[in-house]
Chains A and B, each alone.
Chain A
């Protein structure tokens, strides 16, 4: 690794390599090394997380960069069982950017903050010369109050079942087809949404939660692969039970993608104690953005640190960490 390429931002193998070799090396500490969606600090009382948003286009079917910036950070907090409370945001704006667009982005941020009952308490604005950034980058950081402690991707065991909260890949597919040069159209919408209300419902109903993770870049396969390594287990997935919408399937067929590697922004993976799995499903399905929640697999020791996909005709294969830049295939 001599120079940083786009592959280093894919949420997959190269991304992890860069983080480990450069950042972990320098910043190493016990909290960081737990490698969770948000850091749990102050004796387990608070959760802290940060995320930057560089999506292009800024406005896309189902959301915009503003909504994304709030959901992203709030969801990371929710994944640690925390209620998002205080956020900071900073804007890096390219000169020439239209104020009306900025207003519209800020409005969607406001709307999404309300859904999480969180507030922005500090911010920063920088304007840079044309070409220094692509229109607008946003960073948000957030502090949440931990309502349910002990959630960790390092504690998954054979007592858990694996669930996914809805059909996967909608965000990744939506962004990809809105790119220049792809020229596809569909009714597909990003799944971008706030997950705290769902997590809150699970906590209120006393569900035994082992781990939660939102399947952002790198998609479902990245989350599962991170989990099997962190908890030293094998996760066996029943391929047919992974919910995928027809449109996402269509995009995958056309461009040669795997839905399991596509990004999500309002879809999370759950490791839940076996006895609570069916109840979890029932609770999740009450929510509009989790109607297709599904139990997709179990935890075993068959191939530790590997994710296995079982086909419906008796074959199995490993589901690998996504690698490389996401590119349309002709082959």
Chain B
């Protein structure tokens, strides 16, 4: 349910309280009426039916990606060890 997609803010129009977002080279205007925090150009937001619903926490996203990388490396290391111990 509720298809929402990460997009990047390209510009902000204060008069209409809207922004233009980019999703992999596709642009659309998105309404900022539901956003309760400060957003700026370059921020990542989640878009649902023409509205920005929330900012995406970059630090947290990067942290997840880092954890994934570590898990992969650990498992690979473990497999190597197991192969060696055969």
Contacts and interface: CB of A to CB of B under 8 A. Distances in A.
A binds B: yes
Interface of A: 177, 183-188, 245-247, 249-251, 253-254, 256, 329-331
B25 A188 contact: yes
A249 B24 contact: yes
Nearest to B23: A250
B48 A186 contact: no
A249 B2 CA distance: 18
B24 A246 contact: yes
Interface residues of B, number: 14
A188 B26 contact: yes
B3 A185 contact: no
Q: DSSP class of A's interface residues: helix, strand, loop or mixed? A: mixed
B25 A183 contact: no
B28 interface: yes
A188 B23 CA distance: 13
Contact of A331 (B2, B24, B28, B47): B2
Given A184-B26, A185-B27, A186-B26, 10 more contacts: A183-B28, A184-B27, A185-B26, A187-B25, A245-B25, A246-B25, A247-B24, A247-B26, A329-B3, A331-B2
A331 B27 contact: no
Nearest to B24: A250
Contact of B23 (A183, A254, A329, A330): A254
Contacts of A331: 1-3
9 contacts: A177-B26, A185-B26, A186-B26, A245-B25, A246-B24, A250-B26, A253-B23, A254-B5, A256-B3
B29 interface: yes
Give me the 9 closest cross-chain CB pairs, A-B, nearest first.
A250-B24, A250-B26, A247-B25, A250-B23, A186-B26, A246-B24, A253-B5, A185-B27, A184-B28
Nearest to A177: B26
A254 B25 CA distance: 11
B21 to A, nearest CB: 10
A326 B47 CA distance: 21
A223 B3 CA distance: 28
